[in-house]
Structure 1
């Protein structure tokens, strides 16, 4: 006999029971549930005392499950309607998935979307169950060979386990490196429309109250993603298997320096653009989401401009924090330190306007220990002293409202790694940034992965509110991703992720990261240059003392 606590209710059972029978979900609101803080599918069968928490799409981990299941549904629909078409998924702009057909030139995308959508709706109406099955690696290889899934076979050689998981739905079989919703009937919310050479797939999100967010075009950001995808294909590192094949002997050194050379080329391009307009550009604003590498980038850009005879100076937006007691209180009584209202925007505008006009200015210095302004420093700049600022609000027009637009050059920085496990399973850019942050927090703040994961949703909320709405204000989008970096981050991230106990509410998040990270071959970080942007996270940077 065992006891289950669910929704303020206690139930007792004599024999093993499935989670589906415990939760009882006729309206299909709960795709998965937490069982003693472990993420479990509704088919999970157990016979022990447990705390069961049914989860909705309000939870980010459930959104990951929904999105992976939706990719499965799309691939299944293609196998029925267009069985000869090969498709590839990538993460794209506006919180959507990008999909395109790899073996057909100039397909009629609108007709394809219409037919695939109709088939998906038929499958949803049929409410077909997803069945998890386990095979040997050899059986998986044979299945992949029979179905011409060479991309799947290529990655299997790096799988440490001796078994392989699949999900079967009706007669279709696939695997998305994720738990799945119970059945196709749970996947009724999606929207697809033509985009570039393929189409975008939108799906419900936790941050938009379980609804599909409105599409927001971002041509500058999209262009950077497109360039990143093309470059990854050119250097044959668009799949983990291709990437791993470069990690041996002298090829490792060559590949690392190819990636670093790509960063250097973008810095050169930026340096040329700014230097060509040096008499006009006086303020260089840099912003990007967490763990984009803003600090190292700002230092390298400063040096790049110095080679052109300029003498940039850096000013921190952090010095413009209001005294803690002067920061406006949120409606719930809390203080949002990431809000632009926490900064003295008027003083910043006045200071920058006066500096650009050639005046000597007293700039504030914020004392974080006392949480208030700690004094001032005197500054004067000349025409060859462009001012570099970086921070989450640097691209917000309010921060530079008193400065002529032609005098400001705005740079958005973010890693735009375009990399896949296989055609149906892209690597999330957000997960890359999270891994960077986990490693940096452990290296420099002695903070566990558990602590970083516990803060991540708050960080993401701030990004959606303050950073992403301003990204298209940028004059230049800098891709700070390095195609080899996950091979380096792996050895730092895995140990701290594996320390998270399986009864932690963040275990399921850690487990999801571990699932794909284990496929990367290690790179010795001694090979990483000391001025590399990656050094900001693993240590050993020439730009600051550890």
Structure 2
């Protein structure tokens, strides 16, 4: 029996039961990059799905965001499986995924030293499995059976995770005899997973992987030591509370310990802010604290809390935003996509900024501008400022780490801080929570509360925001004097209460539906934590509301 399959404007007939991969192979020449997933009548699906009825089909490639995520997920399973195979029954080896490093993933290895010989052995196993085009298959298992299975496999992180899952079944993937749970879709086999490099680093291994914008290129491994140390610090904060993964956090909530988790997390963060303030106090000549970071990293609240700590040390701090030095909206340049590029340094009146800052450094008085976002122009309302001996200026803006912004100011007068929300808790040992997901959920919640935006509005702008970060923020992060991690181990359980209803509002015919659905599935892992015990000065109050600062 034949079925009619429509791909774009092309109609073709196939036998009932044809695997979607066969259709993908027939249409591959219409796509620049390899096909990894399909949409059948609008529903995202893996290529091993069989087609049993007439359908409209679309394909996603390694050059699409969702396709790239599928490649990364599959490469992660390949690496973990290869590490497992590198061990023996007497000396098993287990790889643990911690976090991303630029376009790479950082792992540690238990049961073996991650030396050159081990890394070479793992890569040989991976290359062999790629050459053999090993299938990745999926089996749906009742949740209670999955919990028993993971316990028997000593995957206790997954055992804890699925104890609190209400779904009746769990998808378990098999790669050449290695079984694991993976959060999200996988490739049909290993044939597309050869684009990687492995590097020994800090006692572990970094696997460099391709990005959606350059799917056929593996980026050079660059050591971002300051970011790496900050991410390790965040993990240690979580470990102090015995929170290594989502299952651990859920157990704290179930056992009534969520208040303690909140208070300890906040105390650790306050201590870190006090530590940074002390370093500023002990460095001679600092008059400008330059604070930068990506969207929704909590820069504004961090600035206010830093000012409180600086005041406690005898400073008289003043806060300003670089946004107030925007050029008139009509003069803002356009980006390559034909949109106003408000993220570019060219959108800032650098000359005016440097003139004012130089005058302040010379103990002269200036009149501070305010940018009117309604009219799109700077206005002056008579607000004057000068800096005395104990006065210090805390400046917030995405370009604050770029010396081109403050080129007239001597280096010794500047103390640069990079703020980012670097997630400390993963779903389990092999499924990480991307830092960008945490920031995106923060922004969805804040945009709705402060601007009335829908989740779809925020999701539709996110790719543009991310491009700006890649161009104007991330290249300068290692130049910071200090890096502050604004993420909290408990925050996704808190944000779930606010983000989940907004994501459910995204309709199935909305272009942002798949991203909203992905985030909903992700939030489903968490048992929510109420906001009652979140302090008024918490960085998370910048997003959920109810804070004590005027933001």
TM-score (ref. length: structure 1): 0.94
Question: Post-superposition shift, 1:384?
Answer: 2.0
Residues 156/331 of structure 1: CA separation in 2 closer, same or farther (3 Å cut): closer
What is the rounded CA distance, in whole Å, between the counterparts of 2:527 and 2:518 in structure 1? 18
Q: What does residue 11 of structure 2 align with?
A: 10
Q: What does residue 368 of structure 2 align with?
A: 363
Q: What does residue 309 of structure 1 align with?
A: 314
Aligned residues of 2:287 and 2:413 also touching (Cα < 8 A)? yes
Tell whether 2:65 aligns with 1:60.
yes
Using CA pairs below 8 Å that are at least 6 residues apart, which structure has the higher relative contact order? 1
How big is each residue's C-alpha offset from its partner over 1:435-477, in whole Å with a ceiling of 9 and x where there is no partner? 1111112222222221211111111111100000011111110
Q: What does residue 108 of structure 2 align with?
A: 100
1:397-546 pair list within 5 angstroms = 397-544=403-550
Q: What does residue 191 of structure 1 align with?
A: 197
What is the rounded CA distance, in whole Å, between the counterparts of 1:458 and 1:36 in structure 2? 28
- Which is further off, 222-231 or 331-340? 331-340
Aligned residues of 2:277 and 2:306 also touching (Cα < 8 A)? yes
1:184-333 pair list within 5 angstroms = 184-248=190-254, 251-277=257-283, 280-330=285-335, 333=338
How big is each residue's C-alpha offset from its partner over 1:30-73, in whole Å with a ceiling of 9 and x where there is no partner? 11123344322112234556543322222121111111101111
Question: Post-superposition shift, 1:529?
Answer: 1.0
What is the rounded CA distance, in whole Å, between the counterparts of 2:343 and 2:543 in structure 1? 22
Residues 88/14 of structure 1: CA separation in 2 closer, same or farther (3 Å cut): closer
What is the rounded CA distance, in whole Å, between the counterparts of 1:522 and 1:12 in structure 2? 48
Secondary structure of the 1:246 match is helix
What is the rounded CA distance, in whole Å, between the counterparts of 2:441 and 2:308 in structure 1? 28
How big is each residue's C-alpha offset from its partner over 1:209-228, in whole Å with a ceiling of 9 and x where there is no partner? 54222222211111111111
What is the rounded CA distance, in whole Å, between the counterparts of 1:38 and 1:55 in structure 2? 12
Residues 407/146 of structure 1: CA separation in 2 closer, same or farther (3 Å cut): same
Residues 326/518 of structure 1: CA separation in 2 closer, same or farther (3 Å cut): same
Question: Post-superposition shift, 1:3?
Answer: 4.8
Secondary structure of the 2:483 match is strand
What is the rounded CA distance, in whole Å, between the counterparts of 1:529 and 1:332 in structure 2? 41
Structure 1 gap ranges (5+):
none
Secondary structure of the 2:108 match is strand
Aligned residues of 2:114 and 2:204 also touching (Cα < 8 A)? no
Secondary structure of the 2:126 match is helix
What is the rounded CA distance, in whole Å, between the counterparts of 1:333 and 1:512 in structure 2? 29
- Which is further off, 231-240 or 503-512? 503-512
What is the rounded CA distance, in whole Å, between the counterparts of 2:265 and 2:162 in structure 1? 25
What is the rounded CA distance, in whole Å, between the counterparts of 2:380 and 2:466 in structure 1? 32
Residues 426/371 of structure 1: CA separation in 2 closer, same or farther (3 Å cut): same
Residues 298/108 of structure 1: CA separation in 2 closer, same or farther (3 Å cut): closer
What is the rounded CA distance, in whole Å, between the counterparts of 1:91 and 1:405 in structure 2? 32
Residues 51/345 of structure 1: CA separation in 2 closer, same or farther (3 Å cut): farther
Residues 382/324 of structure 1: CA separation in 2 closer, same or farther (3 Å cut): same
- Which is further off, 27-36 or 262-271? 27-36
What is the rounded CA distance, in whole Å, between the counterparts of 2:131 and 2:347 in structure 1? 50
Q: What does residue 140 of structure 1 align with?
A: 146
Structure 2 gap ranges (5+):
none
Structure 2 residue corresponding to 1:40, chosen from 40, 45, 52 = 45
Secondary structure of the 1:389 match is strand
What is the rounded CA distance, in whole Å, between the counterparts of 2:318 and 2:228 in structure 1? 31
What is the rounded CA distance, in whole Å, between the counterparts of 1:230 and 1:446 in structure 2? 37
Tell whether 2:381 aligns with 1:380.
no
Secondary structure of the 1:142 match is helix
- Which is further off, 31-40 or 525-534? 31-40
Aligned residues of 1:4 and 1:51 also touching (Cα < 8 A)? yes
1:127-166 pair list within 5 angstroms = 127-166=133-172
Question: Post-superposition shift, 1:108?
Answer: 4.5
Aligned residues of 2:307 and 2:317 also touching (Cα < 8 A)? yes
Structure 2 residue corresponding to 1:85, chosen from 77, 93, 101 = 93
What is the rounded CA distance, in whole Å, between the counterparts of 2:497 and 2:378 in structure 1? 41
C-alpha RMSD of matched pairs (Å): 2.1
How big is each residue's C-alpha offset from its partner over 1:150-182, in whole Å with a ceiling of 9 and x where there is no partner? 222121112110111111233222121110011
What is the rounded CA distance, in whole Å, between the counterparts of 2:454 and 2:50 in structure 1? 32
Residues 514/396 of structure 1: CA separation in 2 closer, same or farther (3 Å cut): same
How big is each residue's C-alpha offset from its partner over 1:374-423, in whole Å with a ceiling of 9 and x where there is no partner? 33643222122211111111111111111111110111001122212221
Q: What does residue 132 of structure 2 align with?
A: 126
Secondary structure of the 1:217 match is coil
Structure 2 residue corresponding to 1:347, chosen from 327, 344, 352 = 352
Secondary structure of the 2:220 match is coil
- Which is further off, 169-178 or 62-71? 169-178
Residues 330/245 of structure 1: CA separation in 2 closer, same or farther (3 Å cut): closer
Report how many residues are paired.
542
Aligned residues of 1:4 and 1:11 also touching (Cα < 8 A)? yes
Residues 35/366 of structure 1: CA separation in 2 closer, same or farther (3 Å cut): same
Q: What does residue 70 of structure 1 align with?
A: 75
Q: What does residue 110 of structure 1 align with?
A: 116
What is the rounded CA distance, in whole Å, between the counterparts of 2:173 and 2:419 in structure 1? 38
Question: Post-superposition shift, 1:290?
Answer: 0.8
Residues 463/49 of structure 1: CA separation in 2 closer, same or farther (3 Å cut): farther
